Amino acid sequence: MKRGFIAAAAILLAGVASAETVAELHENELKAIDTNNDGFLSKDEFNAFSDYAFQTMDEDKNGTLGLDEAKPFLDIKQFQGIDRDRDNAISRAEYDAQMNDDFLAADKNENGQLD
């Protein structure tokens, strides 16, 4: 199940999270992320999941994702797109910025949740 959650994070990181992307998540993963079980992902639920995913992917617990840590989930182009300062590591701030951008882009009706 842990690998499934990380794969879900990769789906969200790899491109803008959309309603279709959320629908692609395995039902069990979506249920685990949707902690209030309302069928939607709130910003808080999304952030909690994002935090869990980052901590899990950061295998050496140094606060960044190196290419080797991200490689199972992101291709090099995706990695470079998230690595905004081009230091060959995705910092927590870069990761959080990307996840926030993805959430905002996916929240088409701007209601603070992914429907």
| Mean pLDDT rounded to a whole number for the chain | 82
At CA 53, angle to CA 48 and CA 58, rounded to 5?
130
Q: Residue 46 falls within a domain, yes or no?
A: yes
Q: Residue 41 falls within a domain, yes or no?
A: yes
Query: Distance between CA atoms of 13 and 80, rounded to whole angstroms?
Result: 12
Q: Residue 68 falls within a domain, yes or no?
A: yes
Q: Residue 115 falls within a domain, yes or no?
A: no
Range of the domain at 64: 2-108
- 0.75 exceeded by pTM: yes
Residue 8 — very low, low, confident or very high, per pLDDT cuts 50/70/90? low
Q: Residue 14 falls within a domain, yes or no?
A: yes
Q: Give tens-digit pLDDT for 62-78.
A: 999 999 999 888 889 98
Give how many domains the chain has, as a whole number: 1
Q: Residue 95 falls within a domain, yes or no?
A: yes
Task: Write down the pLDDT at residue 102.
Answer: 86
Q: Give tens-digit pLDDT for 21-74.
A: 555 555 667 777 889 999 888 999 989 988 988 998 999 999 999 999 998 888
| CA neighbor of 75 nearest in space, from 11, 19, 29 | 11
Query: Distance between CA atoms of 114 and 111, rounded to whole angstroms?
Result: 8
Give yes or no for a contact between 69 and 58, defined as CB atoms under 8 angstroms apart: yes
Q: Residue 27 falls within a domain, yes or no?
A: yes
Task: Assign residue 66 the CATH number of its domain.
Answer: 1.10.238
Q: Residue 67 falls within a domain, yes or no?
A: yes
